[in-house]
Amino acid sequence: MKTYIPTDIIAKKRDKKQLTAEEIRFLVDSYTDGLLPDYQMASFLMAVYLNGMNDEETAAMTEAMVNSGDILDFSEIEGIKADKHSTGGVGDKTTLVLVPILAAAGVKTVKMSGRGLGFTGGTIDKLQSIKGYRTALTEEEIHRQLRTLNAVMIGATGDIAPADKKIYALRDVTATVESIPLIASSIMSKKIACGADVIVIDIKVGSGAFMKTMAEAEELSRRLIKIGESFGRRVDTVFGSMDDVLGYAVGNLLEVREALETLRGRGPRDLTDLCLEIAQKIIDAADIKADAAEILASGKALEYFGKIVTAQGGDLSSIDDPNRNAPFVREVKAPKSGTIAAVNAAEVGMTAGMLGAGRLRKEDEIDPLAGITAAKKLGDEVKAGEVIAVLYTSNESVLDDAEKRLLAAYDLK
């Protein structure tokens, strides 16, 4: 590969000029290999944040990150391989409902998820609240389970897009996270490296999301679809509201329980509708004749959930175990009567983190029993003294502050 002077590339983007694929690859490879210092990559990222990237540059950025590590190959397994990604949300347990629906429909799904950080919950943390559940499988186990059950739900395996991990960590501390081309290339580099043929991205919009407006969400959607086209992947998007918590539960075991209730046909309407919308898009893109709503209603998705959890060592009875509850519980009551005019979903998520359901640093421990269940949603009328939400924690000392923070997240009019 040709050697470039990093400052020339940075200056070129600073001056709003288009970079070549070779220039982008040089920067990404140099940074991944430790040859480019943080301060130069940070300067480049800020230049991108301020001046953007066109579609060709975004595709080149994606390709450079894909090729920085392992690329998984499931071509020997018959059928379309599908994947889903969410841009982050509070109470977002869609994967736990979606994957069993897809498995029952016959769609092969390799769902690799991460841990939660900040106000968004991680699917791996939720799965690990199921006693015995193994989130790490060998390549042989993954292939065998795909053949027999059509699905696996695991943590990232191998060295997938290491450039993205390193660049994202830098974006996180340099105020460059909310860049649409950087978000698009980050998402798609992982999905493409994981071998998916069909990809549906759930783009969250609202107070609890990176995309605050529908215009931003639509531009991200366009970028994701364009990247997919350049790599020969079928990409579609849905828009999920984050102006309120998704469903009612926030917190790991609490969310698994709500997902299980949804698979039983008794889930919250907003969660059920979103899962069915994503599932049908994937089923249709995979050219499979099946109806997601019928699969859910028939109980087949519930059956597959049980099979997947059991196959990965999980104890299904530990989910509904009445003895597995947080030792400290507090009802949060409305200070006055009115209508819930707004909910700061991000603040609800941060409150759950205070209770032990999330982490602010990667090394923080998660309390699987901690979290929040909402009793009221956006637009609901409440009376003074009526319960808005319930807090759960193993750390009694945080309850007073958590209650204050949660009340501040609700705007009663």
What residues act catalytically?
85, 164, 171, 186, 190
Please state the separation of Cα 180 from the chain's center in Å: 16
How far are the Cα atoms of 44, 152, 310, 320 from residue 317, in angstroms, in the given order? Answer: 51, 20, 10, 6
Would you state the structure tokens that stand for residue 348, as one six-digit string?
């609800």
Residue 212: strand, helix, or coil: coil
Angle in degrees, 0-180, between the axes of helices 21-32 and 6-14, rounded to the nearest 10 = 120
Q: What is the DSSP string of 172-205?
A: HTTT-S--HHHHHHHHHHHHHHTT-SEEEEEEEE
CA distance 337 to 175: 39
CA distance 58 to 31: 17
CA distance 218 to 323: 45
CA distance 30 to 3: 10
- Give the per-residue SS3 of 333-373: ECCCCEEEEEECHHHHHHHHHHHCCCCCCCCCCCCCCCEEE
